[in-house]
Chains A and B, each alone.
Chain A
Amino acid sequence: MSAPNVIINQSEKGIVRAMSKQNQTIYWRGYEELTNDLEFVKNSEEEFNLPSDEEKSSFSDRRDFLKTLGFSVAAVSLAACEAPVKHAIPFLNKPEEYDPGISNYYASTFFSGGDYSSILVKTREGRPIKIEGNKLSSVSGGGTSVKTQASVLGLYDNNRFKNPKKGSSNIDWAALDTEVKQGLEASKANGKTTFLISGSNISPSSNAAIAAFASSYGNVKYVQYDSYSAHGLLEASKDVSGNRVIPGYDFSKAKVVVSFGADFLGSWLSSTEYSRQFAKTRRVSPSNKEMSRLFVFESLMSITGANADYRTNIRPSEKGLVVASLYNEVAALLGTAPINTSPKSNRYIKQAAEQLVAHKGAGLVVDGSNDKNLQKLVLQLNQLLGNFGKTVSFANPALIKRGNDTDFNQFVDSLNGGQVGAVLFLDSNPVYDHPRGAEIKAGLSKADLSLSFAYAPDETAASSKFIAPNHYFLEAWGDAEPKKGHFSLIQPTISPIYKTRQAEESLLIWAGDKTTYYDFVKGYWKSNMYPKQQFGYGSFKDFWNYSLHDGVFEVNGVNPRQVGATSGDSTIVAATIPTVSIPEPAISFNLAGVEAEISELYKANATGYELVVYEKVGMGSGSQANNPWLQEFPDPVTRACWENYLLIPVSLAKELELKVTEGKTILVNLKAAGKTITIPALVQPGQNSGTVGLAIGYGRTETGKTGKDVGANAYPFIKSVNGNLQYSISGVSVEKNGGDHLVAHVQTHHTVMGRPVIQETTLDKYAKNAADGRYLPKITTVNGEEPASNFSLWFDNDLEASTNEMAKGPNKRPNHQWSMVVDLNTCFGCGACVIACQSENNVPVVGKQEVLNRREMHWIRIDRYYSSDMTKEKAKKETVGLIDMYDAMEIASDDPEVVFQPLMCQHCNNAPCETVCPVLATTHSSEGLNQMTYNRCIGTRYCANNCPYKVRRFNWFSYPENSKFDYNVNNNLGKMVLNPDVTVRARGVMEKCSMCIQRIQEGKLYAKKEGRRPADGEINTACAQACPTEAITFGDMSDKNSKLYKLLAEHKDGRAYTLLEEINTRPSVVYLTKIRNKA
């Protein structure tokens, strides 16, 4: 009802009332009323004669009868069936900021094993349900990683510690505090050392709390270590700059990047930040035909190697010499002194050197090894090339890795020597994730007190006497300093689910300090950060509130909000923020000893196999191994999940006569460093022929059901050389075990078969012709050849509404035309979008067996293709027959080029799925979306068969209610992560990418409430939001001012293509060609 109507109605009523007052004629209800009969007056208020009380008690009237009947029927039927018990807890007092159905976002920080992201935590009805990137951070810039996206599920891990524990029995916090204090005192009294062990701790407040704890006891040693160590780089930096820090890298300024096994787009250091920076140099358009050039020298095939313009595989044992040869080539070009090592040149070394010298000051050389000498050499190489202060900086260093291998080794030695009185493990699990884990486990019994702050079961907690469970980071207060001067805050987004306590608070309590950790952090910020702020906040309260709101505070950054705006109780005074250029600290190089050590450690002509222990993008160190999303996350390169495997080169596969088909492979015995394990082998094209690879993060023995005993533990293979952990081990043997094994893959066919699904070119060719590499299907008619898209069975308006036409002119969709552009050149394949989508859209986890059955449910996948030695051109030239050609095309090249392609529902404007559904369960929206009506779906799967992109996913089982799928949605706690805006699909229905229709609707409703159209960028899909490189652009094609429209307009005659244009499905998802910067 609209407002004017209401008014008219009210006035009408008023008129009626006024009229009845004017005509006050009295009518009698009967003769009795006129005569004022006594009996009548008595009963005049009641229409009927009602029974007396006596009468009432003797019989039940109609209403009573119906009531009784109704009640008994209801009671009987209720008793007959077991009503499901639903827990609903009403709010007695509604929190101010909380509205049911409305999401709240809280800024926070994710940090785990070097992987840092400033994040926004989306909460609904008081539950955190999704992690998004925080665009205000200059470090992560709104990008997230796979691990970041998946971390929300850790909160709802059913296996978390619910109580503090002594051994296996629960105790309360007071009792624990007493006993631990006694233990700590005893350690001090006995003259023994108390060790506090943690992973790299980037929280200033936490470090301050630990320092307070340490000083109150006096015998505390604080040791940090990294499960994937950067000790070598840290020590090299210390030698060079005096500070034990990671140099700040800026890939966005680099025109030439040379990486020696540093997987900076995947797992090396701050890869989310680096991916983002690197992507800026890979965005090619008609107005910017420049692009960086990436050289990679590595042993395994990493994501970075897969994205390289020039990739060379090298033996781990020759790496030092290869770096040295690059150094010497550069030195020769620059006319400086070479270093004296045995020469080991390699393919592309010369080109790399030439390019680096040609782009002095705009190049960057990085090395992924943990060898101090090599890192020093690389730093000097950067210095030689004038890259310091430009692409490498000690003025703006990263602080994400702080572990010290030497200190940690000393700890293990003193633990075994019985000199440790007490040991506390904070955010660390060295029994599992350190090569000396077994020694630590044995040594822990010698310590009088051992305590773990683990929030969920792990190997170290299992060997410790006490467990003082920490909050999960989404329940906790905290802060982080990933880069010098870049601070971010962690705030709780839910009250603690279990009886856990912030570890720092525990430490403070044991130190006799009763401050809550919240006050501690706030106090720390007041005395340390607030004085540094230059934004003009008048009071600490404002500074704190806004920093907490923004999540970040960057000392030399720009205030994210308009300076001068009124806020709270004080006005932000306009402050001129000086553009600070921090001078590079003096650096000094001393390569003495480096030559000799490199010559000793690296050999040019090694034989036999070498094992490289690497870190997977999804699983990381294994601390989140119990996270089913991460277990099911397919590795971007191998496309396998649910376990680790021995990566073997093609040559070894030939030796073992191994051909992996549909995930079926063999078990091999890996012998290295005196240890033998049995593990499935997986063939990796492009891997160095003398190298095998094994990922860490698997083989957990003490964790929840999901992560327990999945794969094999690789940590024990890591070798300690001069106190440095070495991740490559020589003298390895691989033998057939005789057993077979199935490794779950989401993709088992690895080449693109010469199909124009992937369209690519090189930068030179692109510069000449923007449409180079494009496949333009033509159909021959009587009038000559015409583009295939000119022909359609469908009406013209549909034709014009389609994507290609859209880029050229206005469309016929009445309101919006949602669309996506995916830039194959900036998609590095990391997979953050896959988990973001899973989290946003309640995509079920199906487990290893179902992945083996090829039934994973991911709505977006990242296809990875290897190039093949056989091409159609080659077949034509060499007159190879069709059958032989296709056979050869199925085999990936031994040293392939790699391309990644994210594939989600293409939202075809001529959707083949829509016509075949018998019940119209999949239809087209007026906004160009292909939508699924789950309620209507009867599950014929015809749509999936007829989908040329194979993006539709069928619910083969009822995943939330089938005990075979005991993952997060099968328990009440795990269910809390579900997004209430998205249906949990029933068994037997088809599902697929909806382009986050719930987000579109939400954005449209917000705009509608404000009486405007949705602004560009206001609505974003989960995948595009998560992408650290902004490779996915989502938007409204009918909005000519949208980023998407402009992007398409720019590329319409060039890089933009739709998949399978020749079958004329007219997708709404547009790809931009892959461009390699190579000759």
Chain B
Amino acid sequence: MNVTSSVREPLINGGKTWADITNDICRQVEGKPSKSWIIAFVISVLLLGVGVFCVMYTWFVGIGVWGLNKTVGWAWDITNFVWWVGIGHAGTLISAILLLFRQKWRTSINRAAEAMTIFAVLCAASFILLHMGRPWLGHWTLPLGNTYGSLWVNFYSPLVWDVFAISTYLTVSVVFWYIGLIPDLATIRDRATNKTSRLIYGIMSFGWNGAAKDWSRFEAVSLVLAGLSTPLVLSVHTIVSFDFATSIVPGWHTTIFPPYFVAGAIFSGFAMVLTLMLITRKVFKMEDYITLAHVESMNKVITLTGSIVGVAYITEFFIAWYSGVEYESYAFINRATGPYWWSYLTMMVCNVVSPQLFWIRSIRRSILATFILSIIVNIGMWFERFVIIVTSLHRDYVPSSWAYFSPTWFDIGDYANSFGLFFTLFLLFSKFLPVINMAEVKAILKSSGDVQTGQAEGKTTVSSDKSISSH
């Protein structure tokens, strides 16, 4: 019962029926893991193993094993943190904002994007802990009761705001993601052929029985959570940007940071979603669900946010000159022409130039080009944070303290750890949970204005308002 429109590309290809959808998506969960999954999983776990060694070593010996120094107090640690948080933005944006905007194409990717969000935020959180000199006291950043009475966190500190923002974001994301999983978990439970699966998925699906009342409550909750998440998309990276914007370091102290960081976050988040989805689509044979139309829509968002970021870079330069503040103007000249010119150049090419290629339709719709560019964008966004953090710090006010930062193996190893963690979690997720939201995809199988394939050749309008309004 595939339906299509003459003006709008179908959201799902391949003439799928509802049963096809269930079978296609559950296949991965119910079957034995594929060879490619096992290989990927082994690599991820090995990477995680190396990473865990590096992290443990860092933890036991001290963060002196990194390349930081008296002048550059943050480098890869906070770069990685901001980068992962940024990546974590796509999921919520897709599931909340696009939901509110009724973008139906989101249903094929929202599950994986949300999972990615959670894992990315976990990776980010790991860097919050790891970058501390005494991570075992990390809980002191929480306003916990204590016997000292007046000992409290510093509400002036953007790091405390970060703690609140990230933990709220993580909580809401996890809840939103899990609530969305319940109908699908019930489907798997119902299809389960062995007791263990039935028991586990049964517990996980909270006794979902598909009744109208269940659906009604489900949709109400989803809407409420979407409403809750929407401001978070904007607030989290705004607050992360406050870490820099509220400081006095030239190159950090910039009012443009909040919107520019949010745009950058969506930019990198979408790129990461694309990287993952293009692989998932191939490995799990989901080409019919994640179509070129999806890729193209994502690329359009990337072009938009990439352009916003580019404008922000140029605005920063203008303001540095226009403000007449010597330290700030030097900070920006130094960024572009100083010892770290190469990182600035990398950032500009990757973030400003490369997404502009998506103006070309053939590139926008090319899987290979998109895959490569999505990685380039994430490299660029990593360098953006590196440029902001390191080039601003390494030459600030007093020239006697100017210094150069170079990473050590442990900087790299601890970064690798987050990749290991991320991919291990993502692979576990893709094996044990449906990567595509079956319930929602079924709902968009046929959209308003669509006609059934083969029937409506040449017809421009056929009313078909029976489509299930999913929310």
CB under 8 Å from chain A, chain B span 28-46:
none
Cβ contact of A854, chosen from B71, B140, B152, B158, cutoff 8 A: B71
Nearest A residue to B329, CB-CB: A882
Chain A residues lying within 8 Å of B243, measured Cβ to Cβ, are 942
Contact B247–A912 (Cβ < 8 Å): yes
Contact A853–B69 (Cβ < 8 Å): yes
Chain B residues lying within 8 Å of A938, measured Cβ to Cβ, are 132-135, 137-138, 140-141
Contact A854–B62 (Cβ < 8 Å): no
Given known A-B contacts A912-B247, A940-B131, A948 and B398 have beta carbons under 8 A apart: yes
Nearest B residue to A757, CB-CB: B398
Chain B residues lying within 8 Å of A941, measured Cβ to Cβ, are 68, 73-74, 131, 133
Contact A942–B159 (Cβ < 8 Å): yes
Contact A757–B399 (Cβ < 8 Å): yes
Contact B400–A903 (Cβ < 8 Å): yes
Contact A954–B399 (Cβ < 8 Å): no
Q: How many angstroms between the C-alpha atoms of A989 and B396 in the bound complex?
A: 22
Q: How many angstroms between the C-alpha atoms of A915 and B153 in the bound complex?
A: 11
Cβ contact of B62, chosen from A887, A918, A987, A1065, cutoff 8 A: A987
**Nearest Cβ on chain A to B360's Cβ, whole angstroms:** 34
Given known A-B contacts A853-B69, A883-B333, A918 and B63 have beta carbons under 8 A apart: no
A243 interface contact, C-beta 8 A: no
**Nearest Cβ on chain B to A991's Cβ, whole angstroms:** 11
**Nearest Cβ on chain A to B160's Cβ, whole angstroms:** 5
Cβ contact of B404, chosen from A662, A751, A917, A1059, cutoff 8 A: A662
Chain B residues lying within 8 Å of A918, measured Cβ to Cβ, are 140-141, 153-154, 157, 159-160, 163
Contact A955–B399 (Cβ < 8 Å): no
Contact B159–A988 (Cβ < 8 Å): no
Contact B62–A957 (Cβ < 8 Å): yes
Chain A residues lying within 8 Å of B68, measured Cβ to Cβ, are 941, 954, 956
CB under 8 Å from chain B, chain A span 898-925:
901, 903, 912, 915-920
Given known A-B contacts A752-B399, A757-B398, A942 and B160 have beta carbons under 8 A apart: no
Contact B63–A883 (Cβ < 8 Å): no
Contact B402–A919 (Cβ < 8 Å): no
A936 interface contact, C-beta 8 A: yes
Given known A-B contacts A662-B404, A938-B138, A939-B132, A749 and B399 have beta carbons under 8 A apart: yes
Chain A residues lying within 8 Å of B395, measured Cβ to Cβ, are 749
B330 interface contact, C-beta 8 A: yes
Chain A residues lying within 8 Å of B249, measured Cβ to Cβ, are 945-946, 948
In the complex, how many residue pairs between chain A and chain B have their CB atoms under 8 Å apart? 175
B70 interface contact, C-beta 8 A: yes
Q: How many angstroms between the C-alpha atoms of A988 and B61 in the bound complex?
A: 10
B67 interface contact, C-beta 8 A: yes
Tell me how many residues of A have a C-beta within 8 Å of chain B.
62
Cβ contacts A997-1030/B at 8 Å (1 or 0 each): 0000000000000000000000000000000000
Chain B residues lying within 8 Å of A861, measured Cβ to Cβ, are 400
CB under 8 Å from chain A, chain B span 300-346:
326-327, 329-330, 333-334, 337
A855 interface contact, C-beta 8 A: yes
A1063 interface contact, C-beta 8 A: yes
Cβ contacts B61-92/A at 8 Å (1 or 0 each): 11110011111011000000000000000000
A127 interface contact, C-beta 8 A: no
Contact A956–B62 (Cβ < 8 Å): yes
**Nearest Cβ on chain A to B114's Cβ, whole angstroms:** 29
A973 interface contact, C-beta 8 A: no
B397 interface contact, C-beta 8 A: yes
Given known A-B contacts A937-B133, A945-B73, A912 and B403 have beta carbons under 8 A apart: no
Q: How many angstroms between the C-alpha atoms of A968 and B203 in the bound complex?
A: 61
Contact B153–A662 (Cβ < 8 Å): no
Nearest A residue to B137, CB-CB: A938
Cβ contact of A957, chosen from B64, B132, B396, B399, cutoff 8 A: B64
Chain B residues lying within 8 Å of A920, measured Cβ to Cβ, are 151-154
B248 interface contact, C-beta 8 A: yes
Nearest B residue to A887, CB-CB: B337
Chain B residues lying within 8 Å of A705, measured Cβ to Cβ, are none
Cβ contacts A970-1005/B at 8 Å (1 or 0 each): 000000000000000011111000000000000000
A958 interface contact, C-beta 8 A: yes
Cβ contact of A749, chosen from B141, B329, B402, cutoff 8 A: B402
Chain B residues lying within 8 Å of A919, measured Cβ to Cβ, are 140-141, 153-154
Chain A residues lying within 8 Å of B61, measured Cβ to Cβ, are 957, 962
B156 interface contact, C-beta 8 A: yes
Contact A917–B62 (Cβ < 8 Å): no
Q: How many angstroms between the C-alpha atoms of A939 and B74 in the bound complex?
A: 11
Chain B residues lying within 8 Å of A990, measured Cβ to Cβ, are 133
Among A755, A950, A953, A962, the most chain B Cβ lie within 10 Å of the Cβ of A950
B393 interface contact, C-beta 8 A: yes
Chain B residues lying within 8 Å of A1059, measured Cβ to Cβ, are 398
Interface residues on B, range: 35 or more
Contact B73–A944 (Cβ < 8 Å): yes
B401 interface contact, C-beta 8 A: yes
Given known A-B contacts A918-B163, A944-B70, A948-B248, A958 and B62 have beta carbons under 8 A apart: yes
Contact A886–B397 (Cβ < 8 Å): no
Nearest A residue to B73, CB-CB: A941
Cβ contacts A1030-1062/B at 8 Å (1 or 0 each): 000000000000000000000000000001100
A455 interface contact, C-beta 8 A: no
Given known A-B contacts A882-B333, A938-B140, A956-B64, A950 and B160 have beta carbons under 8 A apart: no
Nearest A residue to B77, CB-CB: A941
Contact B133–A948 (Cβ < 8 Å): no
Q: How many angstroms between the C-alpha atoms of A938 and B129 in the bound complex?
A: 10
Chain A residues lying within 8 Å of B137, measured Cβ to Cβ, are 938
Given known A-B contacts A882-B333, A942-B159, A957-B61, A748 and B402 have beta carbons under 8 A apart: yes
Contact A856–B70 (Cβ < 8 Å): yes
Cβ contacts A270-293/B at 8 Å (1 or 0 each): 000000000000000000000000
Q: How many angstroms between the C-alpha atoms of A940 and B68 in the bound complex?
A: 12
Q: How many angstroms between the C-alpha atoms of A945 and B132 in the bound complex?
A: 14
Among B73, B154, B326, B337, the most chain A Cβ lie within 10 Å of the Cβ of B73
Nearest B residue to A749, CB-CB: B402
**Nearest Cβ on chain B to A596's Cβ, whole angstroms:** 49
Contact B397–A948 (Cβ < 8 Å): yes
Cβ contacts A845-865/B at 8 Å (1 or 0 each): 000001001111000010111
**Nearest Cβ on chain A to B267's Cβ, whole angstroms:** 25
A753 interface contact, C-beta 8 A: yes
Chain A residues lying within 8 Å of B152, measured Cβ to Cβ, are 920
Chain A residues lying within 8 Å of B153, measured Cβ to Cβ, are 918-920
Chain A residues lying within 8 Å of B248, measured Cβ to Cβ, are 912, 946, 948, 1063, 1065
Given known A-B contacts A916-B247, A956-B63, A957-B62, A942 and B400 have beta carbons under 8 A apart: no
Cβ contacts B383-407/A at 8 Å (1 or 0 each): 0000000000101111111111000
A419 interface contact, C-beta 8 A: no
Contact A955–B133 (Cβ < 8 Å): yes
Given known A-B contacts A940-B131, A948-B396, A916 and B157 have beta carbons under 8 A apart: yes
Nearest B residue to A987, CB-CB: B62
Cβ contacts B235-264/A at 8 Å (1 or 0 each): 000000001001111000000000000000
28 pairs, CB–CB < 8 Å, chain A vs chain B: A747-B401, A749-B395, A751-B399, A752-B399, A753-B399, A755-B327, A757-B397, A854-B69, A855-B70, A865-B400, A882-B333, A883-B333, A915-B157, A916-B156, A918-B140, A918-B153, A920-B154, A938-B135, A938-B138, A939-B134, A942-B73, A942-B157, A942-B159, A942-B247, A956-B62, A986-B134, A987-B134, A1063-B248
Closest 3 CB pairs of A and B: A939-B133, A988-B133, A956-B64
**Which B residues contact A (CB, under 8 angstroms)?**
61-64, 67-71, 73-74, 131-135, 137-138, 140-141, 151-154, 156-160, 163, 243, 246-249, 326-327, 329-330, 333-334, 337, 393, 395-404
Beyond known contacts A749-B402, A882-B333, A941-B131: 18 more, CB 8 A cutoff: A748-B404, A757-B397, A855-B64, A864-B400, A886-B330, A919-B154, A936-B140, A938-B138, A941-B74, A944-B70, A944-B73, A949-B397, A952-B70, A954-B70, A954-B73, A988-B62, A988-B63, A1063-B248
